Structures are given as C-alpha cells and as structure tokens.
Amino acid sequence: MLFLLDYGAGNVTSLANSIRQLGHEFRWIEQPTDFAQATSLVFPGVGAFESAIQHLARRGLLEPLREYIRSGRPYFGICIGMQRFSDHDKSVPHIGWNSADLLDASPEEPDAFYYFVHSYCAKYNPEKYPEAAEWAHATTQYGQELFISAVRKGNVFGTQFHPEKSGDAGLALLAKWLRAPDAVHAPAAAPRVARALSPTHGLTKRIIACMDVRANDAGDLVVTKGDQYDVREKDPSAAVIAAGAVRNLGKPVALAARYYAAGADELCLLNITSFRHSPLQDQPMLAVVRAAAERLFVPLTIGGGIKDSVDPDGTARSALEVASAYFRAGADKVSIGSEAVYAVERLRARGGAADGTSAIETIAHAYGRQAVVVSIDPRRVSVGADYDGPYKDELVRGADGTAWWYQCTVSGGRESRPLSVVQLAQGVDVLGAGEILLNSIDRDGTGLGFDLDLLALVKRSVRIPVVASSGAGSAAHFVDAFAQTGVEAALAAGIFHREEVGIDEVKDALRAAGIHVRR
Ligand code: 1PR
C-alpha cells in the first residue's frame, strides 16, 4: 500500500491530487504505527526544513520514518534542501521551471522542465564531496550555481523540484515511480557524466494567467476584470448586462483549467473584495481553490483576505490559519496585499526591526518564504520636475520632463498610504516574502503594456523575484518586460480572458526574441 506522509505543514494536497489523477490509491500516515503497513512512501516536502523536522519530531514520526527508510522499502522525498543559494547574481528563492540534467546521461525526458521553488538546495560539488557521486542523479543550474536536483540511493529517490506541480513532465515522472518504484532506483546502465557550469542557466521566464474573482450581484463567484481596478460595466450597449453590473468573464475553475491546458506556467486567483469582510468559515474561495487544484498541476497562488479575521460565530482566525486553510485546499502560495502594507508601516515605525508577528513572517516561518507572495497595488503620483520631497531618491523622470513616484494603496486601490513602492518592496523582503507581484493601477486593464519604469525600479530594489503585472495588451509587451527590466515572470488577465492573445503566442514571441521559456 502506498502511503503519503502528512507532516502537518506544506502543501500535501497537490501531491495527493496528482496521485489520484494518475489513478493510484493511497493512505495517509497518521501515526507512527502506520509505517508498518506501507510498501511505498512519499514525503511531500515544501519549504522550511527546520519546521518540517520539528513537526515530524513533535508527532513522533521522525524515528519511524528513519526506520522505514532503513528497511529498504521504496521512498520518494520532495523538495527540502539545506544549503542556501547565493543571491549575488540572482534572485532567491529560485522559483520557476528549470531543466534537470541526468548524470547518467540517460535519454529519458531530455527536454523536460520541472517546477522548482526553494531557497535551499544541496550544491553539486563532486571534488569537495566525492561521495555525492553515489547518490546524485540529476543537476540543475541556477545563476552560476549547480545543485543536485534529484538523488537516488538504494531505495531512496528524491527531487528538489515538485513533480506534482510540473505539469505533464512531473506527472510522467511520478507515474513511472508509482508503477515501479524499484526500477527508478536501479543503477544506471549508461556511464555517468560530470556536469560543468554553462554561461547561462536553464531557468525559464514564467507566464502567469491571473483571475480576479468576486461575487457578482447574484451572489455567484465570477472571474471579473477591471480597468484601473474598476470592474463594473460602464457601457450597457457593449454587453447584454446593465451598466453598473460586475463584469463577468467566466467561471474561475473552468478558466483555470483552460489556462493549464494552454500551457500557463502558473495560475493566480485573487479574491478582490476580501478587504470588506472575509471570514474563513464557509469561505467560498476555498471550494474554488479545491476544485481548481484537482484539475491543474502547475503552481496555484491564492490572494485576497490573507490576514487575521473573525468568523461569524466570533472565532478569531490568524492570518496563518487562513493561509493554512488555502494550502490544505491545494494552493501552493498565498498572496498578501493590504496586510503587507500595514506590516511594513509597523516595521518602519519600529525602526526596521522585524518582530515575527506579521502575516508574512508567521506564514513564511511555517511554510517557507517561497510560499509567501506580496501583491502590490501602486499608483503614480505626479510631482513637479524640481520635487525635493521624501521620495526624491526613487523619483522617475519621463522623457517629456514629467516626474512621478509610486504610492502604495490598500483595499484594492481605494485608500492611498504614506508609503512608496520601494519602501514596501524592501520592507517585505526584510519580513520574509518570497516574491513580489507588482501590479499597476494606472496600467491595469488598459492594454498599454506593463509599466516598465515601475518594474525596473522595484526589480533593482530587491533580491527576491518580481512578477510583472497590469497592462499587457500584446505578446510584444511581455518581450519588453523581460528584456528591459529582468523580471522573473509576467502576468496578464484581460487579454487571456478575452482570448485576444494566447499563451502559446506569448511564448512564441519570447522564444523568437531569444528569451528562454518552457514549451
Ligand atoms: O488586500 O490582501 O485582500 O488582497 C487583495 C488582492 O486583490 C490584491 O492582490 C489586489 O491586487 C487585488 N485587487 C483588489 N481590487 C482589485 C480590483 O481590480 N478592483 N485586482 C484587485 C487586482 C490586478 C491584477 C490584474 C492585473 C492584470 N488586479 O491582478 O489581474 O492588473 O490585468 P490586465 O492584464 O488585464 O491588465 P488583500
């Protein structure tokens, strides 16, 4: 019987979904005695090694797990690493689709890309650690570092990437192990090759489809799309719907499935009205996430309402509890908007010292920083060309002599705060966010292209990956964003929902421009 180890943290739901999708049955290890019945075992790691081990130890599972591995029964471990990447030449965490080059030069899956999301790894250094040759199975290059992306020794197989989130390539690898776990461990027939650094790494730029979700006036959750964050119909002649109605571009789960099939590298669901009141009890977005996660095997980010809240029965829910509910529903990352602004305001009021209490910190501590995205909703504030105010160091000057800075907002752009986008981005980096989703209220829904000045400003201010968002109107706009600002990913909503530009079209344009993308 196949067992999965649910160690109480991390996203075990994605793995369970993919194993079900492959037609296999499994049971959960719930107590130490369950190990005795397991004939094969998968450990779905995500994120922080320390908290994973603490959870295992607290539940009395650590020793039985070691005992299981010593017994020689097949074991598949996922993701957890222990040496930190250097962020001198690249953003950390390493997030996205990269290759995994097999050391035994076997021809299997030669062009496959797998999804990685981690700050820690095991570095590949055969001169310093010759014994690693016994168990290193594949390597991957990120920046100018080579690390071990798959290991195998005896009954143990492990991947640094997430097969359950690596689309068809990941499902194929899992299926192979599930069919014949011992075969994966058989010694390679082909001779082993030594890997050396190449001038460029294999990490691809990611294309993300985003669905802004809210209830329409009939109470149904729909994917909507605004212009500069206004999601209500303005022209009754343009739609069958009355002016003032919430724009309805489709059902979230059906659209998510469509984008998965179309080759989106990631998907994002934002609950855009959650700033009003967003209890955890009977939260309809949880059902949406659950249903979407059963159908798609690429990373899914959920945002909106990740904050401390109170249920209708008066039960207080911490932001960590809210995030945990989404992770267990099948989300891989949570995105924090308004609450991140307040957290950085508090951080700055304390003189820049983190105190471990913010939603970013508590969630990153439990799930690893790579699971925490911060969504920023900035707006341009025009100033005179001779501006000498507090944001002068981050002023952007247009070719026409205009000047502006970027101000942070909360509650979906409804309230501006005395905080600049650079202050926010650097603050959330300190607090432990893993990635920035950088929207632009000015460009949202306009199709005018991403705000390249904004992207370049934030990109050079932080070490964590930046996702460009808002304004995409053509495939060429994605080329501009990657080529001119170095962002790691780009997201669009309207053009994909209205089928004006396809994800494949965007990737073709990027490939033609020499930008590395996943097929
Ligand atoms: O504050 O933690 O509850 O999070 C709320 C989340 O909802 C934030 O991520 C915020 O950006 C989002 N949000 C709130 N109001 C709106 C709105 O549109 N009225 N949507 C909103 C933000 C921006 C992007 C959009 C891109 C691409 N939408 O997600 O998808 O701009 O659009 P485009 O390609 O069509 O230009 P909290």
Counting from 1 in the atom list of ligand 1, the atom nearest the Cα of 272 is 7
CB 329 within 8 A of CB 291: no
Please count the other Cβ atoms lying within 10 Å of the Cβ belonging to residue 197. 12
What is the Å distance from ligand 1's center to 355 Cα?
28
pLDDT at 190 over 60: no
Counting from 1 in the atom list of ligand 1, the atom nearest the Cα of 226 is 18
pLDDT for position 237: 59
pLDDT for position 208: 98
pLDDT at 96 over 70: yes
Instruction: State the catalytic residues.
Output: 79, 162, 164, 212, 377
Highest-confidence segment of 56-60, 131-135, 335-339, 365-369: 335-339
Dist. CA 269–CA 265, nearest whole Å = 14
Classified as helix, coil or strand, 159 is: strand
Confidence grade of residue 187 (pLDDT, cut at 50, 70, 90): low
Q: Where are the chain's structural domains?
A: 2-184, 206-376+422-512
pLDDT at 241 over 70: no
Residue 242: DSSP 8-state:
P
pLDDT for position 395: 96
Residue type, 209: A
What is the Å distance from ligand 1's center to 440 Cα?
9
Which has more pLDDT, 363 or 133? 363
pLDDT at 341 over 80: yes
Residue with tokens 């590949």: 124
What is the Å distance from ligand 1's center to 31 Cα?
42
Confidence grade of residue 129 (pLDDT, cut at 50, 70, 90): confident
pLDDT at 109 over 70: no
**Mean pLDDT, residues 153-166 taken together:** 93
pLDDT at 220 over 90: no
Instruction: Give rounded-to-5 percent helix, strand, coil for the chain.
Output: 30, 25, 40
Residue type, 27: R
Interface confidence: ipTM more than 0.90: yes
Q: What are the CA-CA distances from residue 393 to residues 344, 387, 396, 405, 422 (Å)? A: 19, 10, 9, 9, 10
- Structure-token pair, residue 75: 């074991």
- Mutating to test ligand 1, I would choose from 255, 259, 272 the residue with most ligand atoms within 8 A of its C-beta, which is 272
pLDDT at 414 over 70: yes
Average pLDDT score over the chain = 91
- Mutating to test ligand 1, I would choose from 225, 278, 439, 496 the residue with most ligand atoms within 8 A of its C-beta, which is 439
pLDDT for position 439: 98
Confidence grade of residue 135 (pLDDT, cut at 50, 70, 90): confident
> Cα-flanking dihedrals φ and ψ of residue 407, to 5°?
-100, 140
CATH for 2-184 is 3.40.50.880
pLDDT at 344 over 90: yes
Which segment of 16-30, 236-250, 433-447 scores lowest on mean pLDDT? 236-250
Q: What is the pLDDT of residues 359-370, one digit of tens each?
A: 999 999 888 899
Superfamily of domain 206-376+422-512: Aldolase class I (3.20.20.70)
Counting from 1 in the atom list of ligand 1, the atom nearest the Cα of 337 is 2
**Mean pLDDT, residues 30-50 taken together:** 87
- Structure-token pair, residue 455: 């992207």
**Mean pLDDT, residues 123-128 taken together:** 88
Please count the other Cβ atoms lying within 10 Å of the Cβ belonging to residue 104. 16
CB 62 within 8 A of CB 23: no
* CA gyration radius, the chain: 23
**Mean pLDDT, residues 6-11 taken together:** 68
pLDDT at 115 over 80: yes
Strand partners, 148: 139
Confidence grade of residue 323 (pLDDT, cut at 50, 70, 90): very high
**Mean pLDDT, residues 371-377 taken together:** 97
pLDDT at 506 over 90: yes
- Structure-token pair, residue 225: 């799309």
pLDDT at 236 over 70: no
Q: Which residues contact 131 (CB under 8 A, 6 or more apart)?
A: none
- Structure-token pair, residue 172: 């194929």
Residue bearing the CA closest to ligand 1, atom 23: 439
Residue with tokens 């299926």: 175
pLDDT for position 47: 58
pLDDT at 10 over 70: no
Highest-confidence segment of 72-81, 219-228, 341-350: 341-350
* Pocket residues: Cβ below 6 A from ligand 1: 210, 212, 225-226, 229, 231, 270, 272, 274-275, 303-306, 335-339, 375, 377, 412, 439, 444-445, 469-472, 492-494
Confidence grade of residue 278 (pLDDT, cut at 50, 70, 90): confident
- Mutating to test ligand 1, I would choose from 216, 307, 444, 487 the residue with most ligand atoms within 8 A of its C-beta, which is 444
Highest-confidence segment of 123-127, 228-232, 290-294: 290-294
What is the Å distance from ligand 1's center to 166 Cα?
26
